[in-house]
Each structure stands twice: as structure tokens, then as C-alpha cells.
Amino acid sequence: MYNSFEMVTAAALADKIKAYNPAVDAESIQRAEDFAKKMHEGQTRSSGEPYYTHPMEVASILADLKLDQGSIVTAILHDTLEDTAATNDDLEKNFGKEVAILVNGVSKLTKIESQTVEGKQAENFRKLVLAMSEDIRVLLVKLADRLHNMRTLEHVKPEKRRRIARETLEIYAPLAERIGVHRIKEELEDLAFSSLNPEARESITNRLDFLRSEGSNLVSEIIGQLTKVSKEAGIEAEITGREKTRYSIWKKMQRKNISFEQLSDIMAFRIVVKDIAECYHMLGIIHSKYPTVPGRFKDFISTPKPNGYRSIHTTVIGPDNNRIEIQIRTSDMHEEADLGVAAHWAYKQDSLAATLKDAKKYRWLRELLDIIEQDQKPEDFLENTKLELFQDQVYVFTPKGDLIELPSGSTPVDFAYAIHSNVGDKTVASKINGRIAPLNTKLQNGDQVEVTTTKNGTPSPTWERFVVTGKAKSHIRRYVRAQQRIEYISLGKALLQKTFRTEGYEFTEKAVAGVVQQLEMEELDDVYAGIGSGNLTARAVFLTIFPGHIETEYKKDVLSEAELGNMGPAKRASGKEPPMPIVGLVPGMAVHYARCCHPLPGDRIVGIVTTGKGITIHTNDCETLEQFADTPERWIDVSWGEGKDTPESHVGRLLVTINNKPGALGTLSTVIAKSAGNITNLKITNRTIDFWDMLIDVYVTDIKHLNNVIAALRATNAVVSVERARGR
């Protein structure tokens, strides 16, 4: 039953804080208690105590950790936002912005506790809690809150008691270990152990009691001998012995599948010395005095644990042939091992500089080093402590409470594909925390996400712009490629049918099917897709079907795109070698026009000697020329001659974006034709709901002619943008 004499009061709390922080504002602590009493009035705990006694106990636990005043006030108020009518504005008005932010952070963690978390999700949940605890004090308050709840767990119904104990063992005890607060970690484990497996705990307790009675003087004897050894070496050391916790003993029995009697290192002895040099000196003395147990030596001073823990561990055959574990550390290391990250809150201004190097081991405290160096108040040391852990990840819940881990920046579409590829493909809408949200909304830690699917839903090509997971990107791209192929097949078939009609032939698929193997394709649709994508020309396919139809005026179209790109303009026109329209070349030298820049008469050009191929002509601003910067001997000074070149014998490449509307492609080809240009190749590079991006090769006479084509296209409503393509 509730006993008022055991209740923590603001006055008692202030006195406890004064022991390590004489500058404590007792009046602020009292105001926080009064506010909590008022807000929680009428509320009781399962034990029958007034509810406000719980936050006061939580605050007392944090005072034992020597935390700052802001943390203590936050602990007193930590349930006001969640369980009372108090608002964030009320807290900020009465206790300042810092406390309001901290209380809000604790409330967020409390909300996600209601989610169902199975054992397999425990690690993700721990990461979520860390990621949401932007200020490390939020997590410390939450751990203290959980500790007091565990201390009073006997008042909770058995079923709920086991659930809370399991959650504590899987989530909160490991969290306490991760930030190095071993004092809280060990108590949480023991309390959870007593609820989950009371028989095993009682059995281990009885066996430990028996060992104590049998060897009541054993611990003191070992301590006496170790003390004697240290004094003989001139080392002043504080030596203590303690039993391993009941839960750690149980875990070891389970892990190694051994009985209690087979355990040989139930006792652990701790040697605390002045500095690191003495740690290693003492280690040498111990190892020279007693035989070591192979494989039982660990140096966490030279290589600290991720949570900053430092100590030397060794196991030896000690006095009276007892196998004992010995831990050697400094007093600072001992305090950090006990309090972990919280140990740094106890440092005062005068000692901050000395502990600067130690603080560096805590990655979440690195941002505070400037404050330490500037010798500011301990309260400033704590402000806006940001955890760096798991900032590249986001953890969200399904409607059923399953926890999903995603990369930072993920959206509901990424979430849907993480559930199942079929869910992602058919997603049409999403809800975040019960409210409808756009599919490109970036998810936050702790969000509950729900997606709506339809039977006929399909991925949108625009999703690729905002999704971040590889699975989502690959499925969307696969769908887009499939849709593009359908478009290419339709376009290619239409182009080939048009060529048949132009030449006076009746189109039949049987005729096309007859040359599928000759064109090195696998099926008929591959031929159509090749034409539609620009990898084949309709005329080339037509002439493959009717090889006897070749005429001079269409000679250039019979050649493949590769042949066109690597052949001089005169060769294209007649197949012979007329006088070249380029000045500066050796007569008879083979000429190729670079496909990276497509030089045209009127461009300033340069020649590059290519072994075995002759001369390749580039525009003088072509980016590819950078590759030849270290070989000036390969450069040839050339220019366009004045002799008339064959009309339509040069390829100009355009990068065009058009509106994805009916007739847009037809308008595009009409404008080019009216400008006396001739499309020789068209390739769609990107297709969305609204726009098509494409590369178009156009036969033109010179750069002036190409510029006229560009100007005509820019004046067309169907065309969004057009520019000369470079490096494509």
C-alpha cells in the first residue's frame, strides 16, 4: 500500500542534486512537482499510489546518475503531454523551450511503445528508439521511466507483466548497454528475469547463497592476496570482488549449454588504479604471479567497446587454484563503466578539459566538444545533444505493428515495395499516421504507413524520380521498359507499314517474319521494337525483305547507322571517293566523322589521327578531345573547304523534349521536313506520363541549316525544348 513517508519530494530531490550541483534551482524543481500534481490529479497507478509519485521516482533515478537540472525537470513532467491536458505551450511557458522539447521527445517514444514488436524486430526497434532520441537525455529519461515501472511491476496483471518484462529484456536493457549505463542495464535485466523465469532466478540465487556460505572467507582472502601483490609492486589500488549477475549467469549457462557447477568464473574482481600506465603494470604483475587461462584476455583500453567501455579483462588461476576473472581499470573508466554516457554530466567546469579525450569516444557527444572547450556551464554541455547513430535509416510501422527498416528519405512507394513487389506495383494511394499523404512524402521515424492498392494498378514512371530503395527502382524501371517496348513495337510497325505503302507494296507480317533470323532477331516484335527505338531503320528492313529494290536515291538509307557514322560524306553519296570538302588532309586518307559531336560544315573542327582508321573529325569544343590532350602529335589542323558538298550528307543530332500528347510526334516530323531536314534516326531516351525525351538524327547541309531546324522546332507548341546534342 502507498506510504507517504516513502514518497520522493521536490525538497528531497533538490538536496540530492545539490550534492553534485550546488547551483541547482530548487524553486524550479518545486514548480515542476506542483505542475505534475495538478495535471495528474485524480490519476492513480496500479499500486493505488497517486500517479505523480511515479515521475518523481523517475527524477530521483536520474539524480542518482547525476544528471543536469533540465533532465530532472523533464523526468517530473515526462507524462504530462501524453496523459494530461497539458500542452507543449504550457510547458514552454512555465519551464522553457529546452524542457518542452525534451518532454515532447519522451512522449514520442511512449507512443511507439504501444506498437506490437516481435522478438525478430527487437534490434530494429532499438535502432528506432535511438534514431528518435535526438537528444540523449530523452533516452536516459525513458530508461529511468522503464526502470521504475519494472521496480513496481508486481502490481500489474500477470499477462501484461510478462509482455513488459520481455520488452524490457529485448529492447531497453540492450539500449542501456549500448550507451554504457551498466547500472541500469543490470537492474533491468534482473527485474525482467524475475518476472519471466522466477524459478531459474531463485535456483541461481540459492546456489550463490550456498557458495557464499561454503566459502565465506574466499572473497576476502583473494582480495587480501591481490592487495598484497599490488603493494609489493608499489601500486596503490582499490580492489573489490563481486558476483556476476544472476541473469548473466543464466545467459552463459544457456549459451554454452552447461550446468551451474560447470561455471568457473562466477566471481569477478576489479582492480582500480591511478592511470593507464598502472593498468598495464598491474596486468604484468598479475600475469607473472598467476597462470593465465588461454583465450580469456581482452584489452578494451587500447580498443574500447562501441559504447565507450574501457577496461582490461583477464582470467587467471588465482589463490588456492581458484579460477577468477580480473578487471583492471582507472577510476574514470570505472565511473564510465557504471554510468556510461551519463558519467559526463557529472563533470564540472574545472575538470572538463582533462576529460576531453575521454568524451571523444562517445560519437553522439562529438558535437558538444566545442562547448566543453569553451568552458561553459554544464547545462550548456547538454543542450541539443544529437545522436549520430542510424541517421541514414528510417523505421516505420505497418498497420499490424510490424517494423520496417528503410533508407533515410524513403517514401510510401519504397515502403510498399519493401512489403512485397506486387504491393508496390499496384499501389495507388497512401496514409501516414491515419492521414492521406502524397506518395512522394518522405517518411519519418515511427510513422505508421498504410498503402492502398487496386487490382489494375501499375507503377508510374514518375515514381523513379523520388524513390530511394534499389528494389523500388528496379521494379519501376522493369515496368517502364516493358511499356516502352510496347510503344516501340507499335511505332516500329507503323513506320514499316508506311514504308511499304510508299514503295507500292502490300504490308504482310509474313514477309517481315521471313527476315527475322537474317536481322539476328529472336521474334517478329523484336524487329518492330528495333525500328521504333531507332536501332533499325524501316527502310533497312524493307530493303532486307526486297533486296532488288535498291535505288541510287535511297543508297544512303540501305547502310546501317554505324556505317553512316564512320563514312565520309562523299562516300555516302556515291560509294566512291570524290574530292573531300576538308582542307588539311592528305589525299586518299580515310575520314570519319565523330559520333560524339557530329561536326557539320560551318563548325570549327579539328582532326585526330586514329591508328588503323585514318582521321576522325571533331568539333573543336568536343569534350572527347580532352582524352587526347597529352598526345598533340595526333592533332591535325583542318577546316571545311569551299567545294560544294553533297546535299543532306551530314548528320546533325538533336536532343528534343516533346509533350506526350496525340499528334506531337507527327508535328515534330512535319516541322523538320518543312525545314528541308530528313530524319534518319529517332531514339526515345526517357518516357513519362507528361513528356518524351528523344535523340533525333537529321540530315542537313551545314550548321546554318541545323540551326534553322532548331529554330523551327522551338517555335512549335508540341516541342518543350530542343538543343544540339553533344557527347551522345
Give yes or no for a contact between 572 and 553, defined as CB atoms under 8 angstroms apart. no
The edge-to-edge listing of strands for the beta sheet with 691-700 is: 678-687, 691-700, 650-659, 719-724
**Alpha-carbon dihedral sign for residues 417, 422, 427, 430:** negative
Q: Which residue has the cell 592533332?
A: 635
DSSP string across 261-292: GG----EEEEEEESSHHHHHHHHHHHHHHSPB
Q: What are phi and psi of 608, to 5 degrees?
A: -120, 125
* 624/627 Cα distance (integer angstroms): 6
Choosing from 57, 68, 83, 236, the catalytic residue is 83
The edge-to-edge listing of strands for the beta sheet with 298-299 is: 238-243, 267-273, 323-330, 312-317, 298-299
Q: 107-136 burial string, b = 16+ CB within 10 Å, else e?
A: bbbbebeebebeeebbebbbbbbbbbbbbb
Q: 324-333 burial string, b = 16+ CB within 10 Å, else e?
A: bbbbbbbebb
Q: What is the CA radius of gyration of the chain?
A: 39
Q: What angle in degrees, to the nearest 10, is found between the helix axes of 136-151 and 97-112?
A: 60
Measured CA distances, 505 to 365, 498, 502, 511, 680 (Å): 80, 10, 8, 11, 21
* 611/598 Cα distance (integer angstroms): 20
Q: Long-range contacts: 288-291, Cβ < 8 Å, 24+? A: 289/229, 290/316, 290/317, 290/318, 291/316, 291/317
Q: Which residues pair with 691 in a beta bridge?
A: 659
* 336/342 Cα distance (integer angstroms): 8
Choosing from 33, 49, 82, 299, the catalytic residue is 82
Looking at residue 6, the DSSP 8-state letter turns out to be: G
To the query of whether residue 83 is one of the catalytic residues in this protein, the response is: yes
Neighbour count for residue 430 (Cβ, 10 Å): 22
Give yes or no for a contact between 618 and 599, defined as CB atoms under 8 angstroms apart. yes
* 467/704 Cα distance (integer angstroms): 43
**Residues in contact with 95: Cβ distance below 8 Å, sequence separation at least 6, in sequence order:** 28, 31, 32, 35, 73, 77
**Residues in contact with 593: Cβ distance below 8 Å, sequence separation at least 6, in sequence order:** 565, 566, 568, 569, 599, 616, 617, 650, 651
* 183/61 Cα distance (integer angstroms): 11
3-state secondary structure of 41: coil
Q: What angle in degrees, to the nearest 10, is found between the helix axes of 182-196 and 198-214?
A: 110
Q: Which residues are catalytic?
A: 82-83
